[in-house]
Structure 1
Amino acid sequence: MTDQRRDTHDLHDEEVAHAWQQLVATARRTVADRLVVGTSGNVSVRVGDLVLVTPSGVPYDRLTPDDVTGVDLDGRQVLGTLIPTSELPMHLAVHRTTDARAVVHTHAVHATAVSTLVSELPPVHYMTSALGGPVRVAPYATYGTEELARNLLDALTDRTACLLQNHGTLTYAPTLDQAYDRTAQLEWMCRLWLTAASVPGHTPNLLTEEQLRQVGEKLSGYGQR
């Protein structure tokens, strides 16, 4: 019985170590792709009831395997000594109330610009359907607060992404790669809308609910089987 418990523990440790490695790689990718500046964004990934998160104020290129930082779903730190991201309430709200296994938050320029202009990103491209529908803007609240967490949950209803007013983006998915891809897609759509809307004398054509529904049906069967 002792050996069985040790084997299970070792497997869990390996899973956590692998998840931390992926989290750090994703965080570094947000910087490399200019979705954040410095340490302004944050990333989390769930392993069972453990949520691994980027630590507060530590440049991602300095993170090592020994810096693993984790909390339980109530926010109690159970792994590491570095202070978790200040946006922990936001991440935990998503992990507790959705099927998310990974969450990515950025301060992407075009998406943040859009968050200051509208209450919902206009459906200017069919990939709107890939995020569950037109992306809503969560009303502004001070970063790191429960108020912000509540606002974003409302904006995420039936969606896998939202904009945070005068702040940035948040996406979630079953994996870090998928969450990152949704973030990149959202930033691209925001840039597209801003570009089209800036042409003098023209208004961007927007897709209808029916057009988005049809795309949603096609996307459900997209890719390799």
Structure 2
Amino acid sequence: MARAWDELVATARRTVADGLVVGTSGNVSVRVGDTVLVTPTGVPYDRLAPGDVVGVDLAGRQVLGSLRPTSELPMHLAVYDATDARAVVHTHAVHATAVSTLVRELPLIHYMAAALGGQVLVAPYATYGTQELAENVLRALEGRTGCLLQNHGTLTHGSSLSQAYDRTAQLEWMCRVWLAASSVPGTAPTLLSREQVAEVGERLRGYGQPG
């Protein structure tokens, strides 16, 4: 549990260092058994210490720590309930948030969309911390490991904090590429087909080193 908390804090701090969040915006969680460790609400990540651990059960009841959990807890718990996620990263990344205000799905600008399950959808806007937002996110995540939140930010999940974070970084990068390509007057970016992205998805199954 202590190691998981340390990794969670390190991941949260990385979202700030990499410019994916400002101040205390965004949040990170990791599931350890039937306990979900989550960043607390309103506390700068650089102030978090080992004794500040915050944990809830899968029903949202606090079982560890005295700091209040993130206001986005309903969204995190909904993802754990509906998927096999072991970690969730939510950010207010600049380019991804900008894209979320322009389209209903991120155009297929790059084949690495396959790493998120295909074309990334935009969850309709709802007030932060609400069950409505959690439900909108689940619909946008169906069959995928990442989505955009309209006028809000990003959410990705994975089998580990490092995987969830890498997916967030990849999503922000794709949004930045699309915005850059779309900004040239008189032209439109070439997009990939769903079939081309699906083919990459198959190839990614065997990507990396064995074992």
Give the AA of the match of 1:191: R
Of 29, 40, 48, the match for 1:44 = 29
Equivalent pairs, count: 210
Q: How does 1:21-170 map to 2 (within 5 A)?
A: 21-170=6-155
Helix, strand or coil for the counterpart of 1:85? coil
Partner of 2:206: 221
Residues in 2 aligned to 1:108 and 1:179: alpha-carbon distance in whole angstroms: 14
1:209 CA drift (Å): 1.5
Per-residue deviation, residues 34-61 of structure 1 (Å, max 9, x unmatched) = 0000110100000000000000000000
TM-score (norm 2): 0.99
Unaligned runs of 5+ in 1: 1-15
1:180 CA drift (Å): 0.3
Residues in 2 aligned to 1:166 and 1:219: alpha-carbon distance in whole angstroms: 31
Helix, strand or coil for the counterpart of 2:113? helix
Give the AA of the match of 1:215: V
Give the AA of the match of 1:146: Q
Unaligned runs of 5+ in 2: none
1:97 CA drift (Å): 0.9
Identity %: 77
Per-residue deviation, residues 160-193 of structure 1 (Å, max 9, x unmatched) = 0000000000000000000000000000000000
Give the AA of the match of 2:98: A
Of 204, 210, 215, the match for 2:195 = 210
1:210 CA drift (Å): 1.4
TM-score (norm 1): 0.93
Of 160, 165, 184, the match for 1:175 = 160
1:82 CA drift (Å): 0.1
Residues in 1 aligned to 2:95 and 2:145: alpha-carbon distance in whole angstroms: 18
Residues in 2 aligned to 1:77 and 1:190: alpha-carbon distance in whole angstroms: 36
